[in-house]
Amino acid sequence: MHAGGAARLRTVTLAVLTLSLTAAATGCGNDSGGQSGEVKVGIALPTTKQTRWVSDGDNMKALFKKQGYKADVQYAEDSVDEQIKQVEKMIDSGDKLLIIGAVDGFELGDALQKASRAGVKVIAYDRLLLGSSNVDYYASFNNYKVGELQAQYIIDKLGLKKGGNAGPYNIELFAGDANDNNVRGFFAGAMDTLSDFIADGQLQVPSDQKRLSQVTTYKWQAEIANETMTTRLGDFYKSSTVDAVLAPNDGIARGIIDALKKDHYGTAGKPMPIVTGQDAEIDSVNEIIAGDQSMTVYKDTRKLAEVAVKMAQDILSGKRPETNSDNNDSNDNGNKVVPAYLLAPVSVDKSNYKKLLVDSGYIKASDLN
Ligand code: BGC
């Protein structure tokens, strides 16, 4: 058969299939999972290393099941090749829609094109998929705001005021993986908030590592942040102490805290600096309770899962999903501005973790010290 004809035939067949499967899925709304005729969706997530992704996967799977869909959740353990394989397999096995939290936002272009050819819609989950027109929607948090909250916490705790002359206080800066698009948002939000205080000298960066390209952490690895912090303490803090550390997430914060403790921070004469975080992981909330980590940024992954699953259902039943951020620079993937729904992150510390994390059921009281 002529190639165009084959493609057309495939499109028509798929359209009919999609329609009938969508009807099956939307019509039943039960907990039956595994029945023939039910619509399958693929959920490709980057890693199980940060516990949040495990919750994201579990939450979405449960929500899809409730609505009568079958969800296949795969984790790539930070390997781009593995994720490409997983996504391609999902398309080949007939998944009707993909939800992807990319290991590397730029590397899935061919797989996304394959999805588009097969009529499979794609939702970028938490991390924007870059450089491709084959991304339909984006569900995430306001990543710029995450960085702003971290930086604002440091400013408030050090008592810095615009035009003031506090300090000078010593700060060290860290960022996540260079290939994770969110990292640019996190760092920009933080640095836009901190830069006036660095410029007027109330904050100083003894290591002089201030540009994003100088402070990224390969694959968000806590061990690497631990080594970097140890090196910076040895090289730049022989006769001074660090007052604040911009740590982009909880895993990296814990790596940094271990380095600080080895250098006797957290003892009577050498208080812990302010250390930020992100994700409200149980281990870090325990560090907050112990007074070692100062804050974390809580992103309610239950809500993000709800947004993504609702988006998927709408797409599969031919409706336009609700979005709240369609003209935002941060949703521009270099090829198109991807219509997005962005949730608000929240700053959490010792003063409000009970109300925000425990009372809301995000973390069980029994998991905390
Ligand atoms: C997510 C963070 C997470 C980090 C490492 C980012 O893209 O937004 O919540 O801590 O990846 O997995």
pLDDT at 4: 40
The verdict on the CB of residue 249 being under 6 Å from ligand 1 is: yes
Distance 188 CA to ligand 1 centre (A): 15
The chain-wide mean pLDDT, for the chain, equals 91
Rounded (10°) CA dihedral 194, 200, 205, 209: 70
pLDDT at 363: 97
pLDDT at 18: 41
Question: With bands split at pLDDT 50, 70 and 90, how would you rate the model's confidence at 96?
Answer: very high
The verdict on the CB of residue 362 being under 6 Å from ligand 1 is: no
Q: What are phi and psi of 19, to 5 degrees?
A: -60, -50
The verdict on the CB of residue 216 being under 6 Å from ligand 1 is: no
Using alpha carbons, select from 31, 46, 28, 50 the residue that is nearest to residue 251.
Answer: 50
Q: Strand pairing partners for 75?
A: 45
Using alpha carbons, select from 336, 335, 317, 318 the residue that is nearest to residue 326.
Answer: 336
The CATH code that applies to domain 34-135+300-343 is 3.40.50.2300
Residues of the chain with CATH 3.40.50.2300: 34-135+300-343, 143-299
Say which CATH class 143-299 falls into. Answer: alpha beta
The verdict on the CB of residue 301 being under 6 Å from ligand 1 is: no
| Mean pLDDT (whole number) for 280-288 | 98
Using alpha carbons, select from 236, 238, 189, 230 the residue that is nearest to residue 344.
Answer: 189
Q: Which residue has the higher pLDDT, 20 or 257?
A: 257
Q: Considering only CA atoms, which residue is closest to atom 10 of ligand 1?
A: 249
Question: With bands split at pLDDT 50, 70 and 90, how would you rate the model's confidence at 63?
Answer: very high
The verdict on the CB of residue 134 being under 6 Å from ligand 1 is: no
| Residue 95 scores a pLDDT above 80 | yes
pLDDT at 37: 61
| Residue 33 scores a pLDDT above 80 | no
| Residue 21 scores a pLDDT above 80 | no
Give the rounded percent of residues in the chain with a pLDDT score beyond 70: 90
State pLDDT tens for residues 238-249.
999 999 999 999
- pTM value is 0.90
* 3-state SS track over the chain: CCHHHHHHHHHHHHHHHHHHHHHHHHHHCCCCCCCCCCCEEEEEECCCCCHHHHHHHHHHHHHHHHCCCEEEEEECCCCHHHHHHHHHHHHHCCCCEEEECCCCCCCCHHHHHHHHHCCCEEEEECCCCCCCCCCCEEEEECHHHHHHHHHHHHHHHHCCCCCCCCCCEEEEECCCCCCCHHHHHHHHHHHHHHHHHHHCCCEECCCCCCCHHHHCCHHHCHHHHHHHHHHHHHHHCCCCCCCEEECCCHHHHHHHHHHHHHCCCCECCECCCEECCCCCCHHHHHHHHHCCCCEEEECCHHHHHHHHHHHHHHHHCCCCCCCCECCCHHHECCCCECCEEEECCEEEECCCHHHHHHCCCCCCHHHCC
Residue 262: which residues within 8 A CB-CB, separation 6 or more?
A: 230
Atom of ligand 1 nearest to the CA of 279: 9
Q: Which residue has the higher pLDDT, 60 or 30?
A: 60
Distance 101 CA to ligand 1 centre (A): 10
Residues of 155-180 as b/e, b for ≥16 C-beta within 10 angstroms? bebbebeeeeeebbbbbbbbbbbebb
State pLDDT tens for residues 314-338.
999 999 999 999 888 889 999 999 9
pLDDT at 12: 39
The verdict on the CB of residue 137 being under 6 Å from ligand 1 is: no
Atom of ligand 1 nearest to the CA of 220: 5
Q: Which residue has the higher pLDDT, 8 or 82?
A: 82
State pLDDT tens for residues 34-62.
444 689 999 999 999 999 999 999 999 99
The verdict on the CB of residue 184 being under 6 Å from ligand 1 is: no
Question: With bands split at pLDDT 50, 70 and 90, how would you rate the model's confidence at 174?
Answer: very high
